[in-house]
Amino acid sequence: MIIVADFIDYVKDGIHFITGDEEVFCPVCHQLMKKCGRCRRYVRGKYGKRDELAVRVLYCQNCNHHHRELPDFVVPHKHFGAEVFAAVCDALNNYFMDDHSAARMLRWVKEFFKFGLATARRLKLEHPTLVTEYNADSTLDTLRYFVMLVVNAGEWRTTSSCILSG
């Protein structure tokens, strides 16, 4: 799995074909990956609307891993998109969700931000030239940035075992 911030969103027959704009490198061994197909992904946006995405599957010839290329409005293993998580945290537009679900999402984001900060700090120590730039005043910007950082560093699995069980 890899997250891309720059992508083309081409809609055909109601399906969003997402194609990353830049070359994509393997999160495991950092070699350039090749496109080898597409797969289906659903994501629920604001107002509860469900969108169908056709995302690229990329293949790393070096370590024989397949990785799905996800646009940065998707949160891995979550039905709701980043926009919904941010809206719930900022207490906006969450009228289609019950209080229990909203509280759970809020808790998840809080825990994930802690994990994201710790990951950013560690990556900066390992790679001093790394630029960690995001707008900390924006929940959406911070969430999208941390998801991309954690996933592309190959750390999502670690996150899962810590906090994503809920």
* Interface ranges with Zn ion (CB under 5 A): 26, 28-29, 60, 62-63
| Min dist. Cβ of residue 61 to Zn ion (A) | 8
By C-beta, is 8 or 63 nearer to Zn ion? 63
In angstroms, the Cα distances linking 138 to 30, 53, 70, 143 are: 30, 25, 21, 8
Instruction: Kindly state the smallest distance separating residue 33's Cβ from Zn ion, in Å.
Output: 7
Residues near 58 by Cβ (< 8 Å), separated by ≥ 6? 2, 24, 33, 34, 35, 36, 66, 67, 68, 69
Shortest distance, position 25 Cβ to Zn ion, whole Å? 8
Nearer to Zn ion, 57 or 106 (CB): 57
- Residue 2 or 88 with smaller CB distance to Zn ion: 2
Nearer to Zn ion, 84 or 148 (CB): 148
Q: How far is the CB of 64 from Zn ion (least distance, A)?
A: 8
